[in-house]
Structure 1
Amino acid sequence: MYIHLSIIIQEEIMKFNRFNILGLAVLVTVFMSACGGGAKEQSTTEEPTESTEVAAADYAVDSEASTVAWKGEVAGVYGHNGVIDIKEGTISGADGKITGGTIVIDMTTIQPLDSASYSEEHPASDLVGHLSTGDFFLVEEFPTASFTIKSHEGDKLVGDLTVRGITNEETVDLSSVSFDGGFSGSGVLVFDRQKYDVKWEHYVEDYVLSDDIEIKLEIVASK
C-alpha cells in the first residue's frame, strides 16, 4: 500500500513539473515573439533621405572674361566677322539647368576682326560706321541689344532677342554648360536680320547680303 501511494505521489509530482515546464516554454515563446516583432518593426522604419537637389542661384556675368563674336556674309563672295562687348548680365540656374537670366550687349562696341577685307582707302571704321546707321542697327537710337532666357531643355536655350527695339523668340544651340564653382556656357545663335528691320541690300546687284547673322557666345559668370 505504501509503495502504491508513493508511486501515485511521484506521478503527480512529474505531472506538476511537466505543467510548469510547458508554462515556462509558453511564456518564453511569447516573450521572444514580442521582442522579435519589436525588432522587425524597428528595422522597417524608414530614415529620412537627404535631398541632393542644388538650390537655385544667380550668377553675375563677367564681361571681361566673356566673349560675343558675330559673323555676316555676302553670299558667295566674302564675309565680315568680329566681336562686341557685353554690357552686363545675369544667369540663374539650378540642378545643372539654366532657369533664367538676361545678357545685355553694348552695340556701340562693334569691332571687326577680318582685317584682310580692309585697306587704307576702306578702313574697318567705315564698316563700323555703316553698321551703326539706320541701314543696320541704328545704334544711336538703340545702343543696346539683349537676350532674355525663357527655358533650357537639353542643348536648346530659348529666349527673347531684342534688337532695334524689336523682340522675337530665338534659340541658342548650346555646346557646353557648367555650374562647377560658377557658371560657364557656350553656344551659337543664328537670327534673321529682316525680322529686326535690318534690311540693307548690297548696292551691287549680284552681291546678296545673307539674312542670317551668327552670334557665338562664350559666357562666364560667378556668384
Structure 2
Amino acid sequence: MTTSPTSATRELNGVVLPATGAWKVDPGHAEVGFVGRHFMLTKVRGRFTDVDATVEIGERPEDSRVTAVINLASVESGDRTRDDHLRSGDFFDVEKHPTATFTSTSVSWDGTAGTLVGDLTIKEVTRSVTLAVEYLGYARDPWDNDRTVFSARGKVNREDWGLTWNMPLPTGGLLVSKEIELSLEIEAIRQA
C-alpha cells in the first residue's frame, strides 16, 4: 500500500482507492433514489433530498463502515400528491417515524467494486440490505475539498418494513410493486 498523510487517495494492490479516514457525504451531491413500478409496468422514480451520512474508510477496505440518517419527509417523486401519500401512515408515517437509518455490518471488496451489507431501519423495523458498490474515483473541487465518488445498487421488498399499502387491479396484479430498486450516487468530502 502506498499513501501519504496529505494524499486523498492511496494505492492498494495496484488499485487507487480513497485514503483512510472519515468522508462526509455531501447532501447537495448525493442521490439516494428508488424505483418502484406503478400498475406493475411504469417505473416511478423517487429520491430523498435530506441525507446525513459518513463513510469511514478503513486501512483494509473490509474494515470500512457507513452510517446514514435519511429524513423521510424529504421524499420527492415528481408528484406532490404521491409524495404526500408516501409521507402518510400508509407508507413512511413521517409524523411518527421521521427518519430511516442505515448502519453497515460488513464490507467485501475487490479492486474498485464491492458488496456493502447493512441494517436498514424504517418505522422501527430493521432488515438487512445488500448493495453492490463501485468506487468511481476522486476529484479535488475548486474550493480545495477532496471528494470521493461511489455508486451503489440493490433491491428490497418494501413489505419487509411494513410498507404494505396497495390496491388490487381489476385485471390482476397490484397497483404498486413490492420490489423496490435502490440507486445511490454519492460524493463524499474528506474530513480533516
TM-score by length of 1: 0.65
Matches within 5 A, 1:120-199: 124-154=79-109, 155-176=114-135, 178=137, 181-199=146-164
In the alignment, the residues of structure 2 paired with residue 137 and residue 130 of structure 1 have an alpha-carbon distance, to the nearest angstrom, of 9
The match for 1:84 among 48, 73, 78 is: 48
Larger radius of gyration: 1
What do the CA deviations read for 1:51-81 (whole angstroms, capped 9, x no partner)?
7476730111111111112111135432321
How far does residue 95 in structure 1 lie from its aligned partner after superposition? 4.4
In structure 2, the gaps of 5 or more residues are: 4-9, 11-18, 140-145
Runs ≥4 in structure 1, deviation > 2 angstroms? 51-56, 74-79, 94-98, 175-183, 203-207
Given that 1:67 and 1:86 are in contact with CA atoms closer than 8 Å, whether structure 2 keeps it comes out as no
Percent identity reads 26
Q: Which structure's relative contact order is higher, taking Cα pairs within 8 Å and 6+ residues apart?
A: 2
Compared CA separation, residues 144 and 193, structure 1 to 2 (3 A): same
Contact 2:58 2:65 in 1 (8 A): no
Alpha carbons 1:66, 1:218 under 8 Å: kept: yes
How far residue 96 of structure 1 moved from its aligned partner, in angstroms, is 6.8
TM-superposed CA distance for 1:182, in Å, is: 3.7
The structure in which a higher percent of residues are strand is 2
Q: Which has the higher helix share?
A: 1
Contact 1:147 1:159 in 2 (8 A): yes
Match of 1:212 in 2: 179
State the superposition RMSD in angstroms. 2.3
- Number of residue pairs the alignment of both structures matches: 163
Structure 1: 5+ residue runs without aligned partners? 1-50, 114-123
Taking structure 2 as the reference length, the TM-score comes to: 0.75
Residue 219 of structure 1 and its aligned partner are, at CA, apart by 1.2
